[in-house]
A and B are shown apart, each in its own frame.
Chain A
Amino acid sequence: MANLKEIRERIKSVKSTQQITKAMKMVAAAKLRKVQDRTVQFRPYAMRLRKILRNILHQLEGDVSLELAHRRDVHKAVVVLITSNKGLCGAFNSHIIKKAQALIEERYKELLEDERLYIITIGKKGRDFFRKHYPKARIVDDYIDILEKFDFDVASSLADFLMRRFVDKTIDEVYVVYSEFKNPVVQIPHAEQFLPLSGIAEDEAEAPSTRYLADYIYEPSKEKLLRRLIPTILRNQFYRYLLDTSASEHGARMTAMDNATENANELLGELRIRYNKARQESITREILDIVSGARALEGG
């Protein structure tokens, strides 16, 4: 009998856990949708600007030296690590952290030893890990909560801060480790070089299709425009990192909670079978008792 009661208690607790995971899944889904809406809003803006950039780069005669693309010996470096504040989202954070570890191992081993590597952590999970395992890294957590609630202004102010520090030569290189959102089930961690600006010049200038080659009037000059465009593009880039990571986080949590709900269902099924078996057994035993009792009376 005690067994029956035990099983009943367990069914109850599994059920209430399941309700929580279900609710969390729904919340994550709603948040994901919001982030996706913002991504959709942002895309045309960002794409147009990149198109303008491509045009200018293509029509530019000769090289322009851009301060933000200036490569130099790296004495101090910054890794911006974007993770989530909360767990319950599968291996989402540990994938990003692993990516960051690989980056540090590969590029910044010496800087780390000399305590010249700064890690700007966004999200508590990343900060806690690196505090514990990398005592020599200089952890900056002024921006710890921005993934929870951010807008374009927040992203651009952080990007501006990094650009200023790069231009005044306080730092010589910046990498961002974030998670790209493919779909709710697939998130891909990336480590991308943010400063000095790289790649854009090459891959934007290559093979511009002919429809981009309109004969524009540029105001002010192409060079001046370029100098204003590059920071804008970098701010956009940073906003995209945040959007992508945020979408990934909610996607990962949604998937994790969906799995948890599914597992709870399985467990409940098993428990119900066990409960019914136990119940049947006890009834059989009772009937047996009654019947044998009656027999004993008749016989006597």
Chain B
Amino acid sequence: MHVTVLTPEKTLYEGEATVVSVPGSEGNFTILDRHAPLVSALSEGQVRIKTPDGNSVTYAVERGFVEVLHNKVALLVIPKEEQQSDSDTAADS
């Protein structure tokens, strides 16, 4: 599935992904390929994206929304200050 992570000031991520975990306002949940259309609010927490090559990327967000439609995931987030985007290898995760 295609994933974009947008903030008001820049695009944090744009590309394919196999797994996206998000901090939903009613609890964390994970979006896999071919998820049904969904709109959810996000609370403070970590967004984790697993890329097809096995790496994963993490972003700290303050709040936001996620929309899933036609196998496209759009994350509209306000990044948490000092947002780290450490990417660790598949072995670690």
A residues sitting closer than 8 Å to B (CB atoms) are 38, 41-42, 44-46, 48-49, 52, 55-56, 151-152, 156, 214-220, 224-225, 228-229, 232, 236, 239
CB distance from A216 to the nearest CB of B (A): 5
**A217 B36 Cβ-Cβ under 8 A:** yes
User: Measured between alpha carbons, how far is A52 from B6 in the docked complex, in Å?
Assistant: 14
**B37 A41 Cβ-Cβ under 8 A:** no
**B41 A219 Cβ-Cβ under 8 A:** yes
Binary flags per residue of B1-44, CB closer than 8 Å to A gives 1, else 0: 00000111111000000000000111000000000111111000
B57 sits at the interface (CB 8 A): no
From B40, which residue of chain A is reached at the shortest CB distance? A219
B residues sitting closer than 8 Å to A (CB atoms) are 6-11, 24-26, 36-41, 63, 65, 67, 69, 74, 76, 78
Chain B at the A interface: mostly helix, strand, loop or mixed?
Answer: strand
Report which of B9, B25, B38, B41 forms a contact with A41, defined as CB distance below 8 A.
B9
CB distance from A255 to the nearest CB of B (A): 27
**A151 B24 Cβ-Cβ under 8 A:** no
Which A residues are CB-close (under 8 A) to B41? 219-220, 224-225, 228
**B9 A216 Cβ-Cβ under 8 A:** no
Which B residues are CB-close (under 8 A) to A45? 6-8, 76
**B25 A219 Cβ-Cβ under 8 A:** yes
Q: Contacts A45-B76, A220-B26; is A215 near B37 (CB within 8 Å)?
A: yes
CB distance from A51 to the nearest CB of B (A): 8
**B38 A232 Cβ-Cβ under 8 A:** no
Return the 9 tightest CB-CB contacts between A and B, nearest first: A219-B40, A152-B8, A45-B6, A214-B37, A217-B38, A216-B37, A216-B39, A228-B41, A45-B8
Q: Contacts A52-B67, A239-B8; is A219 near B39 (CB within 8 Å)?
A: yes
Which A residues are CB-close (under 8 A) to B8? 41-42, 45-46, 152, 236, 239
The winner among A48, A215, A236 for most chain B CB atoms within 10 A is A48
**A55 B39 Cβ-Cβ under 8 A:** yes
Report which of A216, A219, A228 forms a contact with B24, defined as CB distance below 8 A.
A219
Q: Contacts A48-B74, A152-B9; is A217 near B65 (CB within 8 Å)?
A: no
Which B residues are CB-close (under 8 A) to A225? 39-41, 65
User: Measured between alpha carbons, how far is A52 from B75 in the docked complex, in Å?
Assistant: 12
Which B residues are CB-close (under 8 A) to A218? 38-40
CB distance from A222 to the nearest CB of B (A): 9
User: Measured between alpha carbons, how far is A162 from B10 in the docked complex, in Å?
Assistant: 26
From A229, which residue of chain B is reached at the shortest CB distance? B65
Which B residues are CB-close (under 8 A) to A151? 9
User: Measured between alpha carbons, how far is A48 from B37 in the docked complex, in Å?
Assistant: 14
From A217, which residue of chain B is reached at the shortest CB distance? B38
Which A residues are CB-close (under 8 A) to B63? 228
Q: Contacts A38-B9, A45-B7, A151-B9; is A56 near B76 (CB within 8 Å)?
A: no
Q: Contacts A219-B39, A224-B41; is A41 near B65 (CB within 8 Å)?
A: no
User: Measured between alpha carbons, how far is A46 from B69 in the docked complex, in Å?
Assistant: 17
User: Measured between alpha carbons, how far is A52 from B67 in the docked complex, in Å?
Assistant: 8
Which A residues are CB-close (under 8 A) to B11? 41, 44
13 new A-B contacts, CB < 8 A, other than A41-B8, A45-B8, A218-B40, are A42-B8, A45-B76, A48-B6, A49-B76, A52-B65, A152-B9, A156-B78, A216-B69, A217-B36, A218-B38, A219-B39, A220-B25, A225-B39
**A48 B76 Cβ-Cβ under 8 A:** yes
Q: Contacts A45-B8, A48-B76, A236-B8; is A216 near B65 (CB within 8 Å)?
A: no
Which B residues are CB-close (under 8 A) to A41? 8-11
